[in-house]
A and B are shown apart, each in its own frame.
Chain A
Amino acid sequence: QAFPLPSLPRKQPTVLVVCGPAQNGAIGLVCARHLRIFDYEPTIFYPKRSMDPLYRDFTTQCEKMDIPFLSYLPTEVQLINDAYNAVVDAVLGAEAEAGEGKEPCAAILATLKHVRIPIVSLDVPSGWDVEAGSSGGISPDVLVSLSAPKQCARRFLGRQHFVAGRFLPYDMQKKFELNPPEYPGTECVVALRAPR
């Protein structure tokens, strides 16, 4: 929705999906597969693969759908800017604490900080503190909050903030006082108003 096919600047609808070692990365794999179904051309960078059988199956599904997996991430940022229309940041999610300091995440994030093409972060901009946000970390263009926005979302300054949480049962929404917005029609995401 944020980057419809006809709006992409490059001739090929290429998207780089950077997947971390845990659940956020696995969600990135599922996202890449659906992007492929939507006729984008995703490429995945997934340096540290989980042993979880579910996540390994997600990897197989992507491979069998001819989604290429990079063996390394170029440190030369211009190469990324030239090759892709956008980057999906599925490196670290809300569960990450020590993850940020460890390789290869730290190097990845150092590179992503300097890309000029739009970044879409899944749930939490990777490297941000899940509550306090970040100073000097990556600045995504689009944030997709999963289930409900995390505290750090208040610091999000990008163009579009989506919530993907339509699967939450009503009693859970009440219990955690989530007050979600209304989802239009049968959509599974809703765009929140952009921050002022």
Chain B
Amino acid sequence: QEEAQAIDQELFTEYKFSVDQLMELAGLSCATAIAKTYPPSSFTTSQPAVLVVCGPGNNGGDGLVCARHLKMFGYHPTVYYPKRPSKPLFEGLTTQCQKMDIPFLSEFPAEAALIDELYGLVVDAIFGFSFKGAVREPFGSILSTLERITVPIASIDIPSGWDVEKGKADGLQPDMLISLTAPKKAAVHFAGRYHFLGGRFVPAALQEKYALNLPPYPETECVLQLT
């Protein structure tokens, strides 16, 4: 977890990347991985409906960017974003989604069965690699519900609720994991079908410095399928 935070810090302070820049590339990677794996034609719901659940931090921001790109790729995303930071970055991302007619739910579907009926996929953008400690409401109940759905879950960077290094045996079991920048330690516990790498912005010098040993991305793709 510390290494991931150190890399992030270096990208922002040494390389002068803005959070906006990297978040946009991260969110785009997530949408791309999803589009490659669960194309709109594969949905059994009448529309390719996707529920994007956004948490209170940067992982939630990644989710908002992802939702916007999913819309451009022909999906029908719906966002649930209960705790919104009052920062221009997040307000801007929210506005961009709203202006693209992406609905924001005022409450979370009460039951797992309802989610299964309405959506063909759920994007878990609740907690990311900075997550520590206890899960605060409303996210505890949200995660309990998500643990009971049968439609696939695509988690951004870390399955929410997992310990960033050790995982969580009785926690969320996503079908897809999109590791951003580099896979985190918890990824060894990932048991789903699809593991993608995204966030193709790490300069070669940083990759070497932290011995990331990332396999090469194909051509101009912004994602790499690891499994």
Residues of A in contact with B (beta carbons under 8 Å apart): 1, 4, 36-38, 54, 56-57, 60-61, 64-66, 166-167, 169-171, 185-186
Contacts and interface: CB of A to CB of B under 8 A. Distances in A.
A69 B35 CA distance: 38
A64 B201 contact: no
Contacts of A61: 15-17
Contacts of B88: none
B136 interface: no
A185 B39 CA distance: 9
Interface in B22-64: 31-32, 35-36
Contacts of A169: 96, 99-100
Contacts of B219: 4, 38
B227 interface: no
Interface string B1-35: 00000000000001111100000000000011001
B72 interface: yes
Nearest to A64: B15
B181 to A, nearest CB: 13
Contacts of A4: 219
A1 B220 CA distance: 8
A60 B99 CA distance: 33
Give the 5 A-B CB pairs with smallest separation, nearest first: A57-B16, A60-B16, A186-B32, A65-B203, A186-B35
Contacts of A56: 16
Given A37-B201, A38-B220, A185 B15 contact: no
Contacts of B73: 186
B220 A170 contact: no
B134 interface: no
B41 to A, nearest CB: 12
Given A56-B16, A186-B31, 18 more contacts: A36-B203, A37-B200, A37-B201, A57-B16, A57-B17, A57-B18, A60-B15, A60-B16, A64-B15, A64-B203, A65-B203, A169-B96, A171-B99, A171-B101, A186-B32, A186-B35, A186-B36, A186-B73
Interface hub of B16, B35, B36 (most chain A Cβ within 10 A):
B16
B205 A65 contact: yes
A132 to B, nearest CB: 33
B124 to A, nearest CB: 20
A52 to B, nearest CB: 13
Given A37-B200, A186-B35, A166 B16 contact: no
Given A37-B200, A37-B201, A64-B203, A166 B72 contact: yes
A179 to B, nearest CB: 16
Contacts of B205: 64-66
A117 to B, nearest CB: 21
Contacts of B100: 169-171
Nearest to A59: B16
A185 B16 contact: no
A169 B68 CA distance: 9
A38 B222 CA distance: 10
A18 B199 CA distance: 27
A38 B220 CA distance: 6
Contacts of A170: 100-101
Contacts of B200: 37
Contacts of B101: 170-171
B208 to A, nearest CB: 12
B14 to A, nearest CB: 6
A167 B201 contact: no
Contacts of A64: 14-16, 203, 205
A143 to B, nearest CB: 18
B25 to A, nearest CB: 10
Contacts of B220: 1, 38
A34 B124 CA distance: 28
Nearest to A187: B220
B45 to A, nearest CB: 21
